[in-house]
Structure 1
């Protein structure tokens, strides 16, 4: 698929949708300076190009009784492609893992894990993470508080 080139109106559409994914096409069109029909067409093209991947509700994990975020750095014994793929497939199935990144440097993966308390994290470690083959070490850090949380991509910094 050829690279999608964003113009200024596309950027404004993406920025507005990142702030409010439930905005009506009429309201969005007004914000970006288009009539509703061309605005809806542009949104559809942005979705088809994969720039807009979907729409979600942002949920407060604390109000759901899941106040603990743990960052776990994982080192594997071997970094062969099949070993990396097997690890990624396993953690992708676990609902506690909110984010998983393949990393450079001393560790192979960085996970953000959401749990209700220390005991729940201990169960997660014992029942899931430590049972994976090829895990050499796990280093856990508990978040004391969140300073910034953003779901927005800095559209203005992207390529045109």
Structure 2
């Protein structure tokens, strides 16, 4: 269940919050009593803090990371996309399209001569070609795109380094 707003509200994180976040990033199914013991708080205090961080948008979502091999998604591609222009409506249209596409695992609006970098998954090249046609080739906001097909997933995940004590 996701209760987070679109962008995190200001809420200062103390050392307890940071310690809780580190544990939850490794395994968000860690029992609250186990977290409480690790950070020297009560289970009720951990529960309140987690709920507050969810409400503030600090914890954006609780998800399962699924093996691409287990679900036969053998193609992973990093796609660089250059838009025809960088006007707000062009960028917003591309953002909306890429965000709703279920094959797009990650999407970044970037600087440096290209507009977007996406991570796209597909079961095979036939499906991947159809995805590229739908999202890029037949898209009037896209000037050009290039794909890099991953040979191996060396490291994936969503864990970030949380600074502080």
Fold match, TM over 0.5?
yes
- Deviations for 1:14-71, whole angstroms, at most 9, x for unmatched residues? 0011111112221111111111111211111111121111211111111100021111
After TM superposition, the structure 1 = structure 2 runs for residues 34-113 of structure 1, keeping only pairs within 5 Å, are 34-113=41-120
Partner residue in 1 for 2:158:
151
User: Alpha-carbon deviation of 1:151?
Assistant: 1.4
CA RMSD of aligned residues (A): 1.7
Please list every run of at least 4 consecutive aligned residues from structure 1 whose deviation after the TM superposition is greater than 4 angstroms.
none
Q: Does 1:115 align with 2:122?
A: yes
- Mark the runs of 5 or more structure 2 residues left unpaired by the alignment: 1-7
Q: Counterpart of 1:140 in 2: which secondary structure? A: strand
Q: Counterpart of 2:163 in 1: which secondary structure? A: helix
**2-side partners of 1:126 and 1:82: how far apart?**
21
**1-side partners of 2:46 and 2:141: how far apart?**
50
TM-score by length of 1: 0.92
Q: CA distance change for structure 1 residues 45 and 84 in 2, over 3 Å: closer, same or farther?
A: same
- Mark the runs of 5 or more structure 1 residues left unpaired by the alignment: none
**2-side partners of 1:73 and 1:53: how far apart?**
26
